[in-house]
Amino acid sequence: MNLPYLFEQLVEEIFQFHQFLVVRVGGPGVRDLGYDFALDGTPTKAVVEAKLYRSLGAQSANISQALERLESSRLRAEAEFGILVTNSRLTALQKSRLQRYSQLRIYDYDILAALAAQEPGLARRFEEITREALTFRGEDLPNPAPVEMSTITADLGLAWTLTESHEPVEPPAKGKALCDAIHAVPETVSKPFEVACSAAVRYLFADHLVAFDDQHGSHTKMHFFDLVARIASTADFWQALITDFRARYIVFEFKNYKKEITQREIYTTEKYLYPIAMRGAAIIISRHGADQGADKAMRGALRESGKLILSLSVSELCQMLEARDKGSDHLALLVDKLDAMLMGLER
């Protein structure tokens, strides 16, 4: 199930229900324009970007990046306004970032729920998609906060005051540079690969993890972790690791092999994990991902000792870096992997 696409479709239909002409910009051969669709047939024009996140509280870095990218896209498209639509609930501080962008608006969980509530079918689908997206939320969805409909009506009329336009500035694609640096390391070369992957992990999870420690050793120095960090995030995925897998700390291992990693690497990493010490989860990043034996070993570690090991190939890591650059939910791939692991686990 492609939830981001279903969410994008829902957002389109909500605007159409409110009498907007939706102009699609996607399709085969069309480059990424930085927004999902445009609104036309009104006194003005806007570009709309829909962002589905896997946590009710979106990370500030993602919102900032999404706004920066949307503003650049708005200027490039010569649109008067831009609208960022998300299923997450933004804080007052996150919304204050709009002060830098007078021609942008954010429609978050509460506003989108109010717009969808005008039509029962849209309201039901919004709830279903959001509930599915927040897989690891430990409680029911909150009731939408009251929204002043007259304010939304004014926004939907796009009756905003124009301000001076500036030349579009493309946000720096740090994630792409990190991905290129990883690919530039020759196969089997260990230390530069570890350094490049460590930089990528820090960029991806700077808002989620703290106390990063490279080459951390156990007390007896029998084990050394390529990278370990403490989880300090309210995002649903990380909270699930803490509560369900006793993983207050998470271990990262980096393997630059010519072939896929095998069960041997899984067994080695499993020795590092110790749920009693709140170190019950690890992520292995390798050049080519895991083979079938490694996949079987990861499932066995979870089934037999409750230790969670997830595998990421460099290609998948780069997908996450690209999503991070765009302000999209870069945790979605990890959520999907954990979903697949748990739903397919056998006795």
Q: For residues 12 and 344, give the distance between their C-alpha atoms in angstroms, rounded to a whole number.
A: 33
Write down the pLDDT at residue 165.
Answer: 42
Q: Residue holding tokens 């669709």?
A: 37
Write down the pLDDT at residue 19.
Answer: 82
Is the backbone of residue 19 left (phi > 0), alpha (psi -120 to 50) or beta? left
Q: Running DSSP on this structure, what letter comes out for residue 100?
A: G
Q: For residues 208 and 251, give the distance between their C-alpha atoms in angstroms, rounded to a whole number.
A: 14
Write down the pLDDT at residue 261.
Answer: 97
Instruction: Say if 161 falls within a structural domain.
Output: no
Instruction: Say if 220 falls within a structural domain.
Output: yes
Neighbours of 148 (CB within 10 A): 10
Instruction: Say if 169 falls within a structural domain.
Output: no
Write down the pLDDT at residue 219.
Answer: 46
Bridge partner residues of 311 (DSSP): 284
* 23 and 97 housed in the same domain: yes
* 133 and 229 housed in the same domain: no
* 28 and 118 housed in the same domain: yes
Instruction: Say if 243 falls within a structural domain.
Output: yes
Instruction: Say if 35 falls within a structural domain.
Output: yes
Domain boundary among 156, 182, 207: 156
Tell me the residue range of the domain where 209 lies.
Answer: 174-343
* Contacts (Cβ under 8 Å, ≥6 apart) of 34: 47, 49, 69, 70, 72, 73, 76, 326
Domain boundary among 103, 126, 156: 156
* 107 and 238 housed in the same domain: no
* 136 and 186 housed in the same domain: no
* 82 and 124 housed in the same domain: yes
Instruction: Say if 146 falls within a structural domain.
Output: yes
* 219 and 338 housed in the same domain: yes
* 150 and 195 housed in the same domain: no
Q: Take residue 149 and report the two structure tokens written for it.
A: 């409909």
* 77 and 212 housed in the same domain: no
* pLDDT tens by residue, 100-116: 898 999 999 999 999 99
Write down the pLDDT at residue 125.
Answer: 94
- CATH classification at residue 106: 3.40.1350.10
**Chunked mean pLDDT (size 10), the chain, 347 residues:** 89 90 65 81 76 88 91 90 92 85 91 91 91 73 78 58 45 87 96 96 92 66 76 89 93 96 96 89 97 96 94 98 93 93 84
Domain boundary among 156, 183, 204: 156
Write down the pLDDT at residue 216.
Answer: 52
Query: Exposed, middle or buried: residue 221 (CB in 10 Å: 0-12, 13-18, 19+)?
Result: exposed
What's the domain count of the chain?
2
Instruction: Say if 164 falls within a structural domain.
Output: no
Q: Take residue 168 and report the two structure tokens written for it.
A: 């579009």
Instruction: Say if 166 falls within a structural domain.
Output: no
* 112 and 194 housed in the same domain: no
* 186 and 222 housed in the same domain: yes
Tell whether pTM > 0.85: no
- CATH classification at residue 290: 3.40.1350
Write down the pLDDT at residue 98.
Answer: 84
Q: Give every strand in the sheet of 81-86, ordered side by side.
A: 21-24, 37-40, 46-51, 81-86, 104-107
* 122 and 255 housed in the same domain: no
Write down the pLDDT at residue 221.
Answer: 47
